[in-house]
Amino acid sequence: MRFEPLEVELRGVADALAPEPDEAELRDAHARIDALAERIMRIRLDHADTQIPTPTQKVFATTIASYADQLDVLEARAREAATYGGARDPASAARAVVDAARATLELRAAAHAAVDARRPEPPAEPEPVPEPTLADLIELD
């Protein structure tokens, strides 16, 4: 399928980062991952037998990240869109959308985790200076 090069690009986002990326680079990498996930989802839906109108497929693809923990909501909306679009089997169409979303979201999550793993460790906190004791405060000769 046409999205395979995009999957390779998605997996390579973390590899393209500098050895010690700053926060701006990490933000950009996460944004690139989300954009690639949208494109992958759009292509997956184009190839799936969803019988859902194209504008609705585009909405699902564009908002894929918001369904990461709500695939049941996506399924309900896809079933409704398939019914409205005149699908012969709205439940099957909804399952096709959810299957495409699950595969896309798994790739997205793995790519985000790879980028997060490249986040530099925060500097170690300095050891606390002990509170002076009374003997430290009073100089005894």
What digits encode the pLDDT tens for the residues 52-85? 999 999 999 999 999 999 999 999 999 999 998 8
**How is the chain classified by DSSP, letter by letter?**
-TTHHHHHHHHTTTTTS-SS--HHHHHHHHHHHHHHHHHHHHHHHHHS-----HHHHHHHHHTGGGGTT-HHHHHHHHHHHHHHTT-S-HHHHHHHHHHHHHHHHHHHHHHHHHHHHTSPPPPPPPPPPPPPPHHHHS---
Residue-wise pLDDT tens digits, 3-55: 577 777 767 777 777 778 888 888 988 999 999 999 999 999 998 888 899 99
